[in-house]
Amino acid sequence: MPFAQPTLSAASGARQGVTTLLGSLGPIISSGFETRIGADIGAFPLLGVIGTTVSAGFNAGTPPRGASMLVVTVAGAATTSRASIVTAGGYCRAHAELSITIEEWVEPALILPRRGAPTPPPKLMNRVTFNPTKIFDDWGAVLSYQLRIDDGTPFVSVAGMPVSPLKPIWSNSFVCWVNLVQSAECEAVSGFAEAVSNVQYDFPPPFFAFL
């Protein structure tokens, strides 16, 4: 029943209109300590849409003989968990969620390449993102104001994926990702609206086990 220190990182985002992104999207991975994934984003008049995904991952390795399931659990806290929405004749939304993605990679276990031939690279055979844990989902229309400050709130996400035995000439391994997804959007053509989402999620090494 091991715990795994993340060693992999990934981040992506998309934006349109008037938006802000404060700081870097890159996760902060401290060896032997907590990992931080997060973003501070906002959408503003007249029209703004921004979404980000920040992930930290680890290689769970090859399942032992007889294993039929890979289970992954992450338990941490949103050290910063804040959102605000304001509308006066417009529409806006701020959303944040935590999820786990498991990837299955396959490569030949027995390689007899011809002289000068390159070694076949691993292939991604399966990728599943499991049901997310909602951190918040605030929205408003016409006339509204909401300010959320939930700093320090704990959040847990759990995933389980069946693992299947492969033919002897093939080897499969699994890579697990912890994702923080955020979005902010507003439409204020007919009035005023703005949305801000700021979550910084800190977590110790996640637990994983082949069962």
Categorize the per-residue pLDDT at 115 as very low, low, confident or very high, splitting at 50, 70 and 90: low
Domain presence at residue 1: no
Domain presence at residue 102: yes
Percent of the chain with pLDDT over 70: 91
Answering whether pTM is above 0.75, one says: yes
Domain presence at residue 88: yes
User: What is the structure's pLDDT at 172?
Assistant: 86
Domain presence at residue 3: no
Q: Please name the residues in contact with 2: beta carbons below 8 A apart, sequence gap of 6 or more.
A: 207, 208, 209
Distance of CA 203 to the CA centre of its chain: 13
Q: How many domains does the chain have?
A: 1
Domain presence at residue 2: no
Structural domain boundaries enclosing 158: 8-210
Domain presence at residue 92: yes
User: What is the structure's pLDDT at 111?
Assistant: 52
Burial class (CB in 10 A: 0-12, 13-18, 19+), 24: exposed
Is residue 110 scored above 70 in pLDDT? no
Pairing of strands 170-187, 69-108: antiparallel
DSSP result, 184-209: EEEE-TTSEEEEEEEEEEEE-PPEEE
3-class secondary structure, 183: strand
Residue 92: how many other CB atoms lie within 10 Å: 28
Categorize the per-residue pLDDT at 112 as very low, low, confident or very high, splitting at 50, 70 and 90: low
User: What is the structure's pLDDT at 166?
Assistant: 63
DSSP result, 47-105: EEEEEEEEEEEEEEEPPPTT--EEEEEEEEEEEEEEEEEEEEEEEEEEEEEEEEEEEEE
With beta carbons less than 8 A apart as the criterion, state whether 86 and 144 touch: yes
Q: What count of residues does the chain have?
A: 211
Domain presence at residue 206: yes
Q: What is the mean pLDDT of residues 177-196?
A: 95
Domain presence at residue 199: yes
With beta carbons less than 8 A apart as the criterion, state whether 85 and 138 touch: yes
Tell me the HSE value of 121 on the side-chain side, using a 13 A CA sphere: 2
Categorize the per-residue pLDDT at 122 as very low, low, confident or very high, splitting at 50, 70 and 90: confident
